[in-house]
Structure 1
Amino acid sequence: MRYGINPQQATARAVPVDPDRVPLRLLQGQPSYINLLDALNSWQLVREAERTLGRPAAASFKHVSPAGAALAGPVDEATARLYDVDAAAVGELTSAYLRARDADPKSSYGDFVAVSHEVDLELAELLVRVVSDGIVAPSYAPGVLEVLAKKKNGRFLVMAADPEFEPPEQESRDVFGLRLTQQRDRLALTPDLLADVQVGALPEQARTDLLLGLAVLRFTQSNSVCYVRDGQTLGIGAGQQSRVDCTRLAGAKVDTWWLRRHPLVQGLRFRPEIRRQDRVNWQIRLVEGDLTEDERARFRQAVEADPGTLSPAERADWLDRLTGVSFVSDGCLPFRDNVDHAHRHGVTSIAEPGGSIRSDEVEAACRELGIALAWTGLRLFHH
């Protein structure tokens, strides 16, 4: 590898546990330690999502957790306009990646991409136009590798995963002179996990979204939660010591995603020289509503006309329109505050393991707020 987690860790190698069973092949570029962790985690996520739900899946990874993940589906006009694609004509695999990347496009800058199906020319040509570090997929259509070779002067990482590869029953890691070994978690994510409905009823779309959320959290650094709507993550919270902080962090990302679709934001007319990522960043800073004086001056230079800002009432009115969001937690909700915060972001369905000492309070909160609640009985911590 180029180096380990940091450049000063100059000696770094990746060695197959079994030389006769290799999970992926390097087709282009030279990966770092983190690149390989992203590739291995993201590939497992999209493979699990596709196997569970039977649709093409994509993930956008940063620092060993997904910034976004999605199934193939409709690309809305906000996303299509940002990435210069025809929403009505975009292919399934490209739609999955666009939906995954647009969940948190600020974080997805320089991402590692994973897709569940063969990469076609449409997706390859899109990847050439966005800032990304690499991709892992089961295969590549004729001509695709030649297109991707143009990106980053041939340093763009391209990896081919073996879709039939199954890892050993035991997995190990070395930490400070100790080798930790455990049984690999092989429990399948099936609709049966959502059978124990404690409150309300789960619509079919909610079941799909909750299963996608479970696949996402299985490969997200814990504590983790995610908000999902129509087969697309809207906010993922990862690696927080407090679960409610994770819920609030991911919820803020949901709000940003939805506010970026407000007519004021969609009406922005950027000057032609403003790059795509800068447009994304200005959209986000505008809806966050706390531009500094210096930022406001630079923003005015980036747009044809300053649209002003959303008033608190306009902001609240728009956020109140978001509904049909599903919420998944990788561990038990320990207090009802997670439910209260999730409700603020359009959540109507929740899946969590259940069985905490205050699960009755969580259940009561769901009844009070009209949120369907399913207990999975399954913890999905990932470290």
Structure 2
Amino acid sequence: MTESVVPVRRALLSVSDKTGLVEFARALARSGAELISTGGTARALREAGLAVTEVSAVTGFPEILEGRVKTLTPQIHGGILARREKPDHLADLDRHGIAPIDLVAVTLYPFEDTVRGRAPFADCIERIDIGGPAMIRAAAKNHAAVAVATDPSHYARIAEEVAQHGGTTLATRRRLAQEAFARTAAYDAAIASWFADQEGVLFPPRLTFGGTRVQTLRYGENPHQEAAFYVTEARPGVATAVQVQGKELSYNNIADTDAAYECVAEFDDPAIVIVKHANPCGVAAARTLAEAWERALRCDPVSAFGGIVAANRPLDRAVAERITAIFTEVVIAPDATEDAKAVFAAKKNLRLLLAGGLPDPAAPGLALRTVSGGFLAQTRDAARIDRAGLRVVTKRAPTEAELADLIFAFRVAKHVKSNAIVYAKDQATVGIGAGQMSRVDSARIAAWKAAEAAKQAGLGESLARGSVVASDAFFPFADGLIAAAEAGATAVIQPGGSVRDAEVIAAADERGLAMVFTGTRHFRH
């Protein structure tokens, strides 16, 4: 279709969000456009001194049903949908006294905000917009002749074109139409998701969801891939955090930061998580963040270089000074003191994100993963083990100190790529084996890392000596457990459930290990 400019002679404005409304309407009025409006929008325009025609004057019918019906009439939709190049359409308009509408500006009832505020069911129902989406879709369908604005951010583009060209260009109308259909799709998706939740339907026959783009990224996982960042919900984390300083976040930065923040939220005491390539390489909980940092860093100081750091408490100056002593890509926390911000400010390229809160590890929700031709959906891994859920299966029960470390290690293992083996001691990881094809290899790698960390710290024996070990899934054979025992572990936590559980338990008893079963597996692929 060739480029064409359509003058804006009549504009219908009906907005829930009044941001920028008056300035936009003034720009249209200066170009000679007649303004048509509804209810509160008309009132706001009149109060600003603008001439406006009520929709009821156009339709010849008052708003009814407490405003449920006001624009659902031929006088409105005929004016929007008529094809200007078809004589019979124009004849229909003339026959019925309907004037064309050249621009529609609609922002929908704030259904998403209403649901987010946990409003009663009836209130949420009343916030489902009907006339708004109908006008938006009509205008978007007839974008050859009608411009549609669905967000205040669209006003400046339209006003500039009207001032420069006397109307809107086809290129702009097409772009606005695409955004309009995306807006109504996301709106309906929010309604469908809320309704499914109200009815307790976890996996409906049609799963719909929408997201709002907050950032177009330089590239994806690799430079030859394109990428963007979308927000879908107001769950505290990387998606809602304020970036205080630093370079633009990359695709990998965002993914790793999310992994780190989800992990650190698992712990009640002040905790630090260091992540590299989606896996924790150091985790510790302590009395202070500064102490937690030192102990998390000791686990794998080599991998920590260029890593992502997450804290579950507001950052203070002491921990900021320690974190900035090595090269760090991103730091995320609920908040930071002004002294801490000043320390980070000296590292211009370091990204500092403040999320305002922590994600709830037990919160419900869906996790999605694309596959060829579709996607998989599952509930989030919201399982959290505690002492009451553990079953001692060996002759020796774990000590109180071992028990605390076992729970700590298993919570870390939940966030490590499978097969996952985690050695921990005194609420700090000392060796992590991630993503191996065999569990025994993960056990050996974690033990090797613990030995290497000991060398880095100038210690005479492996950090794994006297530690506990967590496995995200059962040991299919005794070899993985034996490797852990040989590394110096004294207690084991695992889900259990293998056909060779008896063999594994016997191997633990032979070596004087205490072992508990959780009954819960934490695969992470």
TM-score when normalising by structure 1: 0.75
Structure 1 position 169, deviation (Å)? 1.7
> Any gaps of 5 or more consecutive residues in structure 2?
1-216
> Structure 1 residues 147 and 256, CA, compared in 2 at 3 Å: closer, same or farther?
same
Structure 1 distance, partners of 2:373, 2:250, is 22
Structure 1 distance, partners of 2:236, 2:491, is 39
Structure 1 position 32, deviation (Å)? 1.1
Aligned to 2:436: 240
Note if 1:69 corresponds to 2:263.
Answer: no
Larger of the two Rg values belongs to structure: 2
Match of 1:45 among 236, 243, 263: 263
Structure 1 position 42, deviation (Å)? 0.9
Aligned to 1:359: 501
Structure 1 distance, partners of 2:236, 2:281, is 27
Aligned to 1:12: 227
Aligned to 2:249: 31
Structure 2 distance, partners of 1:238, 1:165, is 24
Match of 1:147 among 343, 360, 375: 343
Aligned to 1:298: none
Structure 1 distance, partners of 2:236, 2:270, is 23
Deviates more, 1:136-145 or 1:319-328: 319-328
> Structure 1 residues 322 and 33, CA, compared in 2 at 3 Å: closer, same or farther?
closer
TM-score when normalising by structure 2: 0.55
5 Å-filtered alignment, 1:92-241, equals 92-151=288-347, 154-163=348-357, 165-166=359-360, 169-241=365-437
Q: Is contact 1:335-1:362 (8 Å) kept? A: yes
Question: Which residue identity does 1:93 align to in structure 2?
Answer: L
Q: Is contact 1:43-1:161 (8 Å) kept? A: no
Structure 2 distance, partners of 1:183, 1:209, is 27
Corresponding residue pairs, total: 303
Question: Which residue identity does 1:235 align to in structure 2?
Answer: G
Please provide the CA RMSD for this pair. 2.0
Q: Is contact 1:16-1:22 (8 Å) kept? A: no
- 1:115-168 deviation per Cα after TM superposition (whole angstroms, max 9, x unaligned): 1100001111222221111111111112322321221xx221111224354565
Structure 2 distance, partners of 1:21, 1:332, is 32
Question: Which residue identity does 2:517 align to in structure 1?
Answer: W
- 1:180-207 deviation per Cα after TM superposition (whole angstroms, max 9, x unaligned): 1111122223222324343311111111
Question: Which residue identity does 1:368 align to in structure 2?
Answer: E
Structure 1 position 63, deviation (Å)? 0.1
Structure 1 position 58, deviation (Å)? 0.7
Question: Which residue identity does 1:37 align to in structure 2?
Answer: A
Structure 1 distance, partners of 2:441, 2:235, is 40
- 1:300-359 deviation per Cα after TM superposition (whole angstroms, max 9, x unaligned): xxxxxxxxxxxxxxxxxx548964210000010011111211111111100011110111
Structure 1 distance, partners of 2:507, 2:235, is 49
Question: Which residue identity does 1:158 align to in structure 2?
Answer: L
> Any gaps of 5 or more consecutive residues in structure 1?
74-91, 267-317
What is the identity percentage for the equivalent residue pairs of Structure 1 and Structure 2? Answer: 34
Structure 2 distance, partners of 1:129, 1:319, is 26
Structure 1 distance, partners of 2:439, 2:463, is 26
> Structure 1 residues 33 and 175, CA, compared in 2 at 3 Å: closer, same or farther?
farther
Deviates more, 1:362-371 or 1:173-182: 173-182
Structure 1 distance, partners of 2:471, 2:477, is 13
Structure 2 distance, partners of 1:260, 1:155, is 27
Aligned to 1:346: 488
SS of structure 1 residue aligned to 2:219: coil
Structure 2 distance, partners of 1:32, 1:343, is 40
Q: Is contact 1:331-1:353 (8 Å) kept? A: yes
Structure 1 distance, partners of 2:298, 2:482, is 26
